[in-house]
Structure 1
């Protein structure tokens, strides 16, 4: 009988190992993300090359590169003020959207006059940044790579996937936010 207890005790101690972790079914190598980054880099490179061609061909105007990645040239300058829109200011503006080949996607009449609370409402990224560069009664043409325009998804209407755009923006009025 002692032998049976000894064998049973030995079986219980040897059979009770800790939990074994499961092995992953698939291993992630990150190759999908690396390929996606490479595709995005090449796309941006192609778009910037096209933008540089437009700037070179439009030699009568001086284009400036913004910190956000767009290029712009002033069509009307307001030297009487230095104030540019700040967060929470109300800005009244109008703009159009064209392809880089100057084909109209949305005209100013299609879009209409827009009232925008700076940094508090949704506009496409390039336009949100562009508004902060212009003063009241200024007008400028911006060249946006697709990453600053409507990106991979487009606008789900007239603007397709990864379409760089050109937009002429006019700031009609800036209403400064009252400081509390």
Structure 2
């Protein structure tokens, strides 16, 4: 009986030890992430240099830098204070075309047709979504988007390749205010 009692106490003592954390089989360093960050920095610097060269060569345009990381100029600017820019939930109607930085047409206005978009409630590439927020109804603006503000790493899986910076000319036809704003 004593042996049985000792055996039970031993089993309980061994079974009640605290759990140990499992260690990974292999330790991975951040080398892939580090390499990706360096590639993106290099790509961004290259695109920045190309865009700056375009802006330098086109001195007849007054370029503005957006807070979102792209540049633009007004083809047709409306100076009226009575007109507002679109806000969250507003319906905008617009036309646009897309070109490469070298001016090669990718999609014409006819290809893309007139678009409607509910601000920040539907899918739209980052640069265009942020660019529309800067516009008033009736304005035409040309945007220079680095690839990360355009279609990024994947492109549009059609005519726009990966990591392609874009020139986008947009005409904002109308803004229908959301009654809840």
With the length of structure 2 as denominator, give the TM-score of the two structures. Answer: 0.89
Pair 17,135 (structure 1): closer, same or farther in 2 beyond 3 Å: same
Could you say which residue in structure 1 is the equivalent of 2:114? 113
Can you give the 5+ residue segments of structure 1 that lack an aligned partner in the other structure? none
Can you give the 5+ residue segments of structure 2 that lack an aligned partner in the other structure? none
Secondary structure of the equivalent of 1:151?
Answer: coil
Could you say which residue in structure 2 is the equivalent of 1:33? 33
Pair 117,7 (structure 1): closer, same or farther in 2 beyond 3 Å: closer
8 Å CA contact retained: 2:93, 2:117: yes
Pair 103,11 (structure 1): closer, same or farther in 2 beyond 3 Å: same
Deviation, structure 1 residue 8: 6.2
Could you say which residue in structure 1 is the equivalent of 2:58? 58
- Alpha-carbon distance between aligned partners in 2 of 1:77 and 1:128, rounded to the nearest angstrom: 19
Pair 112,5 (structure 1): closer, same or farther in 2 beyond 3 Å: closer
Pair 128,13 (structure 1): closer, same or farther in 2 beyond 3 Å: closer
Deviation, structure 1 residue 82: 3.8
Question: Structure 1 stretch 133-142 or stretch 73-82: which is displaced more?
Answer: 73-82
Deviation, structure 1 residue 78: 1.1
Q: CA RMSD in A?
A: 2.2
Any idea what the Cα deviations from partners look like across 1:88-126, whole Å, max 9, x if unmatched? 111110000100000011110000000111111111100
Pair 178,17 (structure 1): closer, same or farther in 2 beyond 3 Å: closer
Deviation, structure 1 residue 22: 3.1
Secondary structure of the equivalent of 1:129?
Answer: helix
Deviation, structure 1 residue 42: 1.2
Question: Structure 1 stretch 16-25 or stretch 57-66: which is displaced more?
Answer: 16-25
Could you say which residue in structure 2 is the equivalent of 1:175? 176
Any idea what the Cα deviations from partners look like across 1:65-101, whole Å, max 9, x if unmatched? 0000110000001123341111111111000010000
With the length of structure 1 as denominator, give the TM-score of the two structures. Answer: 0.89
Pair 165,5 (structure 1): closer, same or farther in 2 beyond 3 Å: same
8 Å CA contact retained: 2:83, 2:137: no
